Amino acid sequence: MGLFNDLKNDCKNNPNFKGRIIVMSFTVVSFFRKKATNKLKLIIIAPIIIFYKLISDLILGCEIPASTKIGKGLIIHHGRATVLNKKVILGNNITLKHNTTIGNKEDIDGLDLGSPVIKDNVIIGPNSVILGPITIGENAIIGGGSVVTKDVEPFSIVAGNPAKLIRKIKV
């Protein structure tokens, strides 16, 4: 019953058709990944992940690995060129605009230094890049075209390359 409610909410929350398809397919693949035992993963999960990858990556041009940790209420506007690292953690009620990259940072030897954690109720503008082991605080807004490589405080608006505080949001 939980899966159907989640799908209904995904559909209701996403005003854009492509965003609906991406988020709903991610919800389905995540649901089955969490429920499956090791034996079932080969039989059931593999075809579902292949189908998900076909829809999201090849057809819609959006890379969100099935293992990414994403909270409830994800909204994707114009899902083209959205790329998330598998170790990214997204909280609840995140809005992603098109052409967004959220990824890990590596050192010169290729060692993974970590990926962003994005708290609840964050809006990420188009053409934004968020990299490294940083935290984006709740209710923050990342302006379009921003490159974020440092922590963003809660209730803040940041923009630019590199991203700088524009102003605090009054609570």
Q: State the residue for tokens 């998900």.
A: 52
Bridge-based pairing state of the strands 147-148 and 129-131: parallel
Summarize pLDDT for 146-170 with one digit per residue, the tens: 999 999 999 999 999 999 999 999 8
- By C-alpha distance, which of 141, 138, 136 is closest to 117? 136
Overall fold of domain 2-168: UDP N-Acetylglucosamine Acyltransferase; domain 1 (2.160.10)
Domain boundaries along the sequence of the chain:
2-168
pTM of the model: 0.83
In DSSP notation, 56-122 reads IIIIT-EE--TT-EE-S--EESS-TTEEE-TT-EE-SS-EE-SS-EEE-EE-TT--EEE--EE-SS-
Three-class DSSP category at 110: coil
Summarize pLDDT for 9-33 with one digit per residue, the tens: 777 777 777 777 788 878 887 787 7
- Calculate helix-pair angle for 17-35, 46-53, nearest 10 degrees: 160
